[in-house]
Amino acid sequence: MRKNKSIIKSMLAVIMTLILTFGSTLSVLAASPTLIIRKNWSWQEGTFKINGVPQEGIYEMFSGETSPGNFNAPFGKTVIGTVYMQNTTSQQFDWSLISGPPISRIWVKGGPNALEYDYGSGATSGFGLVAPDNKDISHVVFFFGQTPVDDDDDDSPAIIFVENSEGQLVSIYTISGFKFEEITGETNKPLEDWKIILTGPGEIKHETQTNEDGKYQFTLNNAPTGTYIVTEEIPSGWQNITELSQTINLGSGLYTIPYEKGTLQLGLDQNMTSIFTETFVAEGRIGDLGGNATHEINIHTPNQGSVQSQGNFSWANGGEKVPFELRYDNGLVSFTVGNAGTLTYSTGESVKDIVIRTRATKPDSGIKISDIVLNGESISETSVAIGNGVGVGNLWIRGYNLDNGFILTGNSQMYWDANSIPTNSQLAFQIKVGEAERVNESYQIDFVNKRLQVVDPPVVDPPVVDPPVVDPLDPIIDLLDEEIPLAIVDFDIDGDDEEELILLDEEIPLGIVTLPKTGEINPLEFVIFGLLLAVVGFKLRKESI
């Protein structure tokens, strides 16, 4: 029996191959596939549904059935056709019709979306079918001569929103000031091209020059908070009047300036909660789709602290726009969604900022807030969240004058997977009203200098020296202008132990004395003369003894 079945399968495979190769009168090449955004389809109890509407003559193959073979297309309990699939992988397949009406189109699903292969009036074979982006195939839907029908008015696919950029909290700190020359009795004069230095936590250091007005400025984005020091550099010839270095505590909230009017995508919740303090929140959520188990619209106090007012509403799937309006007038809050009744709540607090938060936690679901108008001014930005993405959006509306209250209107849109419907706040939007703090801060530090005075050195008169005072009683010594006499000292030649000074009455010879040169006198004469002196001396000594 098994052998016969194997033979039959082999014969069918050959027949299908021939059909695919040579074609038939009903073989039609499909046009380029069209991307289908996720429809609200389901396969329950043998019946394929779109938005809950049964689709006749359709067979859906799940990913576990990718082996080649025949697959019957049931409707209820009646088999209306058979499709043979071959060359199957997790990402593509070929097919041919064994029995039943021609195939008019095929949906190949992978991930949240599908590709639609349109065969016009019908075909009996096709090849190379894939899912979007070549994802693994999860479902294949064959339409046996039928056109898919859903309950959408325009038969358009469900909307998939595009999330806003992830966003980030942008803290802008401005440190600026002026540098002047102090001039006595005159208006201070701006000083240009003077260096100003800013240092902060870690290794933060910035330098700038004053402009022609004497102004300098540092703009810091997302800078760490803490102690910063602003210092001026003083050249020679100047002195400071104000402190040379001045300290500020960045992030202290001092000198906060009003926010620039506009919007900012904050992205993740932590970016929003780090700056925003809620006063009250108006919320629209999927709840239980208008049932009595819970509510769909409410007004509550900060951080889901307490629901002050609530109501029911049945949201439409597929991205249908539902209008809303939030009013705040003299402390009275009024919130209306669609045709539901208006919710109210009273609070006496002042408000300055609005954040529209969206949230989607389940796959194939999403929510979008658009067409926003605040006090008659249109806001082009949107707040979007999809379950297949980040899942949260925070649109900060800032810088608008809300002191006298406000009227905020817009549209909300939701879509979800009919097989996995979100509940409660798994698909929701919140309009948070309160005040944002410590994002834009401005600090002004001025410097004043003056020129050093140039002091000339003092003029010192030379000291007056008085002439010496002569005492009249002191004796006066007259110096005689006489010649110095010539003399010879007699060294006791006569032996009477007395030396005698013999004055020579001769003039000092004038002229140049010529000394004998070495070698001009015979040295023997000196030797003989020396010996004679020695003998005379010896004799004289002997006589004296």
Task: Examine the domain organization and report whether 54 and 199 are in the same domain.
Answer: no
**Interatomic CA distance for residues 41 and 150, integer angstroms:** 9
- Backbone phi, psi, residue 42, to 5°: -155, 155
Could you give the strand order of the β-sheet that contains 69-75, starting from the edge strand earlier in sequence? 69-75, 78-86, 92-99, 125-130
Count other C-beta atoms under 10 Å from residue 475's C-beta: 4
> From the CA atom positions of the chain, what is the Rg in Å?
57
- Would residue 15 count as lying in a domain? no
Tell me, what amino acid is at 31? A
**Interatomic CA distance for residues 137 and 61, integer angstroms:** 10
Task: Examine the domain organization and report whether 140 and 182 are in the same domain.
Answer: no
Closest CA relative to residue 409, chosen from 247, 500, 282:
282
Domain boundary among 407, 436, 465: 436
**Six-digit token string for 281:** 């929140």
Local structure of residue 240 (DSSP, 8 states): E
Cβ(253)–Cβ(413) below 8 Å: no
Local structure of residue 171 (DSSP, 8 states): -
- Token pair 């110096």 is at which residue? 479
pLDDT at 262: 86
Domain boundary among 436, 467, 500: 436
In Å, how far are 65, 104, 355, 434 from 59, measured between CA atoms?
Answer: 12, 13, 47, 54
Tell me, what amino acid is at 258? P
In Å, how far are 20, 173, 286, 367, 391 from 360, measured between CA atoms?
Answer: 46, 34, 10, 7, 5
Whole-prediction pTM:
0.46
Task: Examine the domain organization and report whether 334 and 269 are in the same domain.
Answer: yes
**Interatomic CA distance for residues 268 and 247, integer angstroms:** 34
Task: Examine the domain organization and report whether 284 and 420 are in the same domain.
Answer: yes
- Would residue 457 count as lying in a domain? no
- Would residue 528 count as lying in a domain? no
Cβ(130)–Cβ(34) below 8 Å: no
pLDDT at 104: 82
3-state SS of the chain: helix, strand, coil percent to 5? 10, 45, 45
For 211-218, the CB contacts below 8 A with 24+ separation are: 213/178, 214/178, 214/179, 214/180, 214/190, 215/176, 215/177, 215/178, 215/179, 215/190, 216/176, 216/177, 216/178, 216/179, 217/174, 217/175, 217/176, 218/174, 218/175, 218/176
Cβ(248)–Cβ(230) below 8 Å: yes
Task: Examine the domain organization and report whether 126 and 60 are in the same domain.
Answer: yes
- Would residue 502 count as lying in a domain? no
Cβ(354)–Cβ(408) below 8 Å: yes
> For the chain, what is the domain count?
3
**Interatomic CA distance for residues 304 and 432, integer angstroms:** 11
For the chain, 545 residues long, the average pLDDT of each consecutive 10-residue run is 50 48 45 61 53 54 49 52 77 82 82 79 85 80 65 43 59 85 84 95 92 92 85 92 90 55 84 85 93 91 82 89 95 95 91 94 91 95 86 90 93 90 94 79 87 76 76 61 58 59 57 58 74 78 68
- Would residue 29 count as lying in a domain? no
Task: Examine the domain organization and report whether 304 and 420 are in the same domain.
Answer: yes
**Interatomic CA distance for residues 143 and 204, integer angstroms:** 67
Report DSSP letters for 46-64, one per residue.
TEEEETTEEETTEEEEETT
Task: Examine the domain organization and report whether 365 and 270 are in the same domain.
Answer: yes
Task: Examine the domain organization and report whether 269 and 251 are in the same domain.
Answer: no
Q: Is 140 left (phi over 0), alpha (psi -120 to 50) or beta?
A: beta
Domain boundary among 436, 466, 481: 436
Q: Kindly provide the residue ranges of all beta strands, DSSP E only, lying in 302-423, ordered along the sequence.
A: 307-311, 322-329, 332-337, 343-346, 353-360, 366-374, 377-379, 383-386, 392-398, 406-415
Task: Examine the domain organization and report whether 284 and 338 are in the same domain.
Answer: yes
Cβ(361)–Cβ(427) below 8 Å: yes
**Six-digit token string for 512:** 């140049």
Q: Is 20 left (phi over 0), alpha (psi -120 to 50) or beta?
A: alpha
pLDDT at 403: 86
Task: Examine the domain organization and report whether 218 and 334 are in the same domain.
Answer: no
**Six-digit token string for 484:** 């110095």
pLDDT at 477: 60
CA dihedral 210, 216, 218, 219 (to 10 degrees): -120
**Interatomic CA distance for residues 370 and 368, integer angstroms:** 6
**HSE (CB half, 13 Å, CA atoms) of 372?**
22
Closest CA relative to residue 400, chosen from 264, 269, 284:
264
pLDDT at 518: 57
**Six-digit token string for 372:** 């926003």
- Residues with Cβ < 8 Å from 175, sequence gap 6 or more? 198, 217, 218, 220, 228, 230, 248, 250, 442, 443, 445
- Domain encompassing residue 80: 34-144
Task: Examine the domain organization and report whether 245 and 325 are in the same domain.
Answer: no
pLDDT at 19: 45
Burial of 135 from C-beta contacts in 10 A (0-12 / 13-18 / 19+): middle
- Would residue 157 count as lying in a domain? no
- Would residue 489 count as lying in a domain? no
**CATH number reported for the structural domain that contains residue 220 in this entry:** 2.60.40.10
Task: Examine the domain organization and report whether 233 and 313 are in the same domain.
Answer: no
- Would residue 531 count as lying in a domain? no
